[in-house]
Amino acid sequence: MNSLSKELQDSFTELLADIKKAVLYNPRWWLTALKMIRRQRQAIQQRKMHLEVHGMHIPPMLIVSVTNRCNLTCKGCYNQKFHASTSQEMSDDRLIAIFQEAEVLGISYVILVGGEPLSRPGLLNILSQFSKIDFILFTNGTLINAETVQIFRKQRHIIPVISNEGGTHHTDNRRGAGISDAATLAAKALIKNGLIFGSSITVSRDNFSEVMTGAPIDKLIKTGCSLFFLIEYVPVTEGSESLCLTESECAALRNRLLYFRNRYRSMFVGFPGDEERFGGCLAAGRGFLHINASGGVEACPFAPVSDISIENATLAQALQSPLMTTIRQNHAELEESVGGCALWQKREWLSALAHQVQFKTNANQS
């Protein structure tokens, strides 16, 4: 684990260099980027301290599903598949407690997903209390308005990332008619106010050829986008396996990512492709942990199995839960394959593992 921690720390040093490159030619972003780099360097030192003093590996990222609610019904949405919209969401106090502990532990980035995060009332006001954390807020863009833009202007540590499928046709086909135009309007409002924002593109067999041309990237960069997530499609709904990229397409996409990084003055993150340099899957606290909207602690958003809730445990305890620890100890089981996410491909193994952990826990308690 010490070796992994060093690799992750080195990688985040590289990430800071990528941030510098992305904003070098945009003077109005310099102050925002400088503060971000300073925050990340401080967080790296905090994680090193926890490792050296307490022997605890702290992942640099935390993924939090802040709500199950969403104003769209996108095809193949993992949240609609895994989490019932009627389940009770964590309270504001619980969410605040999570972010407070994340600050202390030195977690660099908190990635906010849903549902649609902006459909949770008061979320941006909560995030404004934690200026030491960089929040990456994934949104469909339709709820970005004048009020939210003004909050983003004041709270530069909150970075919106607008999800889409590349071009207009594919975006509207999956997300609904007019959604691509709405997302474009949101992006224009953000750039007009001098804000850093990103784009998340889910890459499937449908839009693979279009993404590979670079045309959607060109269009988004001209709009003002400076951060890109290219996420390989995961077939969470039955009958959608044909949308998964083939092994050769995955390899081609990862090579294309290198090309994009060299060509554009922007940041590019590939998932799960970028996990390869860390020895594969980073879930279960190796590189990140997921907390669902009800407080259940999961290895990954695509692995809805939990043995502990953040409602009655600290974040540090969640990282050391029997299930998360066992997944990390059995990391050799997780090899990337068709469908991108290793844990999704190994979901039967994961379910069996969870039963074993629960059996041992019950036996120890009896």
**DSSP label of 128:** T
| Distance between CA atoms of residues 181 and 169, nearest Å | 11
Q: What percent of the chain has pLDDT over 70?
A: 85
CA distances from 133 to 159, 196, 200, 217, 337 (A): 11, 16, 20, 28, 33
Asked, as a colleague might, if the bond just before 121 is cis with ω within 30 of 0, I would say no
Mapped onto helix, strand or coil, the DSSP state of residue 110 is: strand
Question: Per-residue b/e over 82-105, b at no fewer than 16 CB within 10 Å?
Answer: bbeeeeebbeeeebebbbebbbeb
**The pLDDT value given to residue 33:** 77
**pLDDT tens series, the chain, 366 aa:** 455 555 555 555 565 566 666 666 667 677 877 888 888 889 889 998 988 898 888 999 999 999 999 998 888 777 776 665 556 899 999 999 999 999 999 998 999 998 999 999 999 999 999 999 999 999 999 999 999 999 999 999 999 999 999 999 999 999 999 999 999 999 999 999 988 899 999 999 999 999 999 999 999 988 888 889 999 988 877 777 888 888 899 889 989 998 998 888 888 888 877 776 666 788 899 989 999 999 999 999 888 889 999 999 999 999 999 999 999 888 777 765 544 677 777 878 888 888 887 756 655 554
**DSSP label of 218:** H
Number of H helices and E strands in the chain, helices first, is 15, 9
| Distance between CA atoms of residues 82 and 301, nearest Å | 9
**DSSP label of 206:** T
CA distances from 119 to 35, 72, 124, 181, 229 (A): 28, 11, 11, 19, 22
The DSSP H or E segment spanning 162 is strand 158-164
User: Side chain identity at 236, as an amino acid letter?
Assistant: V
| Distance between CA atoms of residues 278 and 273, nearest Å | 10
Whether 234 and 339 have beta carbons less than 8 Å apart is answered as: yes
| Distance between CA atoms of residues 233 and 202, nearest Å | 6
User: Side chain identity at 223, as an amino acid letter?
Assistant: T
| Distance between CA atoms of residues 46 and 44, nearest Å | 5
| Distance between CA atoms of residues 176 and 142, nearest Å | 11
* Domain extents in the chain: 2-365
CATH 3.40.50.300 for the 2-365 domain, yes or no = no
**The pLDDT value given to residue 366:** 44
**The pLDDT value given to residue 138:** 97
**DSSP label of 58:** -
**The pLDDT value given to residue 360:** 64
By residue count, the chain amounts to: 366
Question: Per the structure block, which two tokens stand in for 265?
Answer: 């003055």
**The pLDDT value given to residue 85:** 55
Asked, as a colleague might, if the bond just before 55 is cis with ω within 30 of 0, I would say no
